[in-house]
Amino acid sequence: MAGNKAVTYIGPGKVEVHSIDYPGLVLKDGPGVHPANVGRECEHGVILKVVSTNICGSDQHMVRGRTTAPAGLVLGHEITGEVVEVGRDVEFIKVGDLCSVPFNIACGRCRMCKEGHTGVCLNVNPDRPGSAYGYVDMGGWVGGQAEYVMVPYADWNLLKFPDRDQALEKILDLTMLSDIFPTGYHGAVTAGVTSGSTVYVAGAGPVGLAAAHSAQFLGASVVIVGDMNEARLAQARSFGCETVDLTKDASLAEQIEQILGVPEVDAAVDAVGFEARGHGTGAQEAPATVLNSIMEITRAAGRLGIPGLYVTGDPGAVDDAARVGSLSIRIGLGWAKSQSFTTGQCPVMRYHRGLMNAILSDRVRIAEAVNATVIPLDDAPRAYAEFDSGVARKFVIDPHGMVPA
């Protein structure tokens, strides 16, 4: 039987590559596994040889110690892989298929799944609606920053690529289908981006860059990206975005007006989440900053897409309210402007097939937009440290050396 190395959370600021059990078609006890999920049989699942798996900003929140993630948790929810074993009840997925794995784990049977809300499946996480691989409070499904991983409900969850050779040629783009590209696209779609829209994206990390590229794909006339990191702003400019530097003391509205001639946009996307910082010189953490600022600069009756992560438990929060996810949001401002906003996990399956076709037809270049950077599995701890420092890269782990040079 093959071995299985995996990226493991050790404690705040520290990850290591450890040897773990080769996956089977049953969910065993382990760090973060909900007791009600222990022993869950998954003959509807498959074992994947991981071709590529990406480091996500959501992983970084855990590694910083900003969640209640337990030590020993195997990380990773952005997974692309080759099927090497299928369960008894799998009908349509075959050994050898190359597939993208939505980061949402969904059963395909519950009311939410049948209505297309796969981010809040009712049957895979005993704690609450919604689940994901390698993530805190998500049921304990083992993460995919590993050599091998088990995927349940395979016929429902997996997106098979139509041509293996073509997929391997475009794997750096296709690896983004598991999360970051659909998540950014979801942010833009739920913000109402359409032909001719003016759009503001808060945050030039990988999700923000994916949202900006998605807004361009949807036909936006101007996409403005705001951040406090010049390297990430330069990455946004590299594919045609306007940018605003939030370390400047000029207000966001003033900087937008300098670009558009008016201090507001049609649509806004929050790609930052709960570790937001205030604007201007010497800004400190202020978790409601982005939400309040995008309400201010979005026009009346505009829409706000919020793919940025917000949590119900934050041990490192700036105050007691934020520790339980309660933020000082100016809901009165949003109400007065008749704005609407959409939150929560992106339902990846709503978008990933169409975005796959866009990649295969050369309509988008998401890997270039987010500056995809390939690393071997053993370099994951270094990549986590670099990502935390703010480098303008999306790290793609290649456990088996299968990603073409």
Q: What span, in angstroms and rounded, lies between the C-alpha atoms of 308 and 305?
A: 9
**What is the amino acid identity at position 216?**
Q
Return the sign of the alpha-carbon dihedral for residues 82, 87, 90, 94.
positive
Q: How far apart are CA 72 and CA 267, in angstroms?
A: 40
Q: Which of 302, 324, 342 is the last residue of a domain?
A: 342
Residue 268: inside a domain: yes
pLDDT for 1 equals 52
**Same structural domain for residues 328 and 361?**
no
**Is there a single domain that holds both residue 288 and residue 143?**
no
Residue 218 shares a structural domain with residue 234: yes
In order, the DSSP letters of 29-42 are: --TT--GGGTTEE-
| Residue 226 identity | G
In a domain, 365, yes or no: yes
Tell whether 335 and 282 lie within a shared domain.
Answer: yes
Q: What is the CATH number of the domain that holds 192?
A: 3.40.50.720
Question: Which range of residues forms the domain containing residue 323?
Answer: 182-342
Structural domain includes residue 404? no
Written as one string, the DSSP assignment of 100-169 is EE-SB---SSSHHHHTT-GGG-SSS-SSSS--BTT-TTS--PPPSSBSEEEESSHHHH-EE-S-HHHHHH
Say what the pLDDT of residue 125 is.
Answer: 97
> Could you give the 3-state DSSP secondary structure of residue 221?
coil
Q: pLDDT (tens digit, 0 to 9) for every residue of the chain, 405 residues total?
A: 578 999 999 999 999 999 999 999 999 999 999 999 999 999 999 999 999 999 999 999 999 999 999 999 999 999 999 999 999 999 999 999 999 999 999 999 999 999 999 999 999 999 999 999 999 999 999 999 999 999 999 999 999 999 999 999 999 999 999 999 999 999 999 999 999 999 999 999 999 999 999 999 999 999 999 999 999 999 999 999 999 999 998 999 999 999 999 999 999 999 999 999 888 888 889 999 999 999 999 999 999 999 999 988 889 999 999 999 999 999 999 999 999 999 999 999 999 999 999 999 999 999 999 999 999 999 999 999 999 999 999 999 999 999 987
pLDDT at 371: 98
Measure the CA–CA gap between 180 and 54, rounded to whole angstroms: 9
Which of these three, 319, 342, 365, is where a domain ends? 342
Residues 6+ apart with CB under 8 A from 270: 187, 202, 203, 290, 291, 294, 304, 305, 306, 307, 308
Q: Are strands 222-227 and 198-202 parallel, antiparallel or unpaired?
A: parallel
Is there a single domain that holds both residue 207 and residue 352?
no
What are 195's two structure tokens? Answer: 């032909």
Residues 171 and 24 in one domain: yes
Q: Is residue 403 part of a domain?
A: no
Residue 161 in domain: yes
Angle of CA points 59, 282, 343, to nearest 5°: 40
- Rounded CA-CA distance 243/394 in Å is 19
Domain boundary among 307, 323, 342: 342
Tally of structural domains, the chain: 2
Any bridge partners for residue 151, and if so which? 46
Q: Are residues 307 and 362 in the same domain?
A: no
DSSP state of 277: B
Same-domain pairing of 72 and 121: yes
In a domain, 405, yes or no: no
pLDDT of res. 72: 97
pLDDT recorded at residue 399: 98
The reply to whether 159 and 133 lie within a common domain is: yes
DSSP state of 391: -
Sequence-separated (6 or more) residues with CB below 8 Å from residue 158 = 46, 83, 93, 97, 99, 100, 101, 151
Please say whether the beta carbons of 199 and 268 come within 8 A: yes
Q: What are phi and psi of 371, to 5 degrees?
A: 60, 60
Q: What is the spatial distance between Cα 212 and Cα 239, in angstroms, rounded to a whole number? A: 9
Considering the domain architecture, whether residues 136 and 224 belong to the same structural domain is answered as no
250, 385: one domain? no
Domain harbouring 108, CATH code: 3.90.180.10
Angle between helices 206-217 and 180-190 (to 10 degrees): 60
Return the amino acid letter for 394: K
Half-sphere exposure at residue 114, Cβ-oriented, CA atoms within 13 angstroms: 4
Predicted confidence at residue 405, as pLDDT, reads 72
- pLDDT of 404 reads 86
Parallel, antiparallel or unpaired: strands 198-202 and 14-19? unpaired
Assess whether 325 and 188 both reside in one domain. Answer: yes
Residue spans of alpha helices (H) in 284-340 = 289-297, 320-323, 331-336
